[in-house]
Amino acid sequence: MEQKNQKDLKELELPQFDSEEEEAEYWANHSTAPYWDKMEPEEFQVAVERPRKKLISIRLDSDCLERIKVVANRKGIPYQTLIQMWLKEKIQG
C-alpha cells in the first residue's frame, strides 16, 4: 500500500489556474498537504496600515485629568489611550 501512495504522490501535479479567484476557491476546498513537497517557499511582506493619528492639544481641569489618570492606571493603560477610547465610544455610540 505504501508503494501505491508514493506512486500517487509522484503523479500528483499542481493544477493550473486561470485566475487568482479560481486558485483561491481550489485551495479553500483542498488540502495543501499532498502538494507540500512540490511547493517552493515564497517571500512576501505584509503592509499593515494603521489609522492616521493627529496630535492635538486639549485643556482639561487638573482634577478631571487626575481622575482620568486614576481610571487609566486601574485599567493598566496610558491615560491618553483611555481618553481616545472614551471619545470613540461617544462618537460611535
Position 44 in a domain: no
Question: Percent of the chain scored above 90 by pLDDT?
Answer: 51
**10 pLDDT more than 60:** no
For position 34, what pLDDT does the model report?
84
How many CB atoms lie under 10 A from the CB of residue 22? 12
Residue 15: all three cell numbers together: 493544477
Give the mean pLDDT of 63-90: 97
Structural domain span for residue 72: 62-92
Mean pLDDT of 52-81: 96
Which pLDDT score, from 0 to 100, does residue 11 have?
63
Examine the pLDDT at 51 and tell me if it is beyond 70: yes
Domain count of the fold of the chain? 2
Give the per-residue pLDDT at 31.
87
CA distance 75 to 43: 40
In a domain, 76, yes or no: yes
Asked, for residue 45, whether it belongs to a domain, the answer is: no
Q: For residue 10, is it within any domain?
A: yes
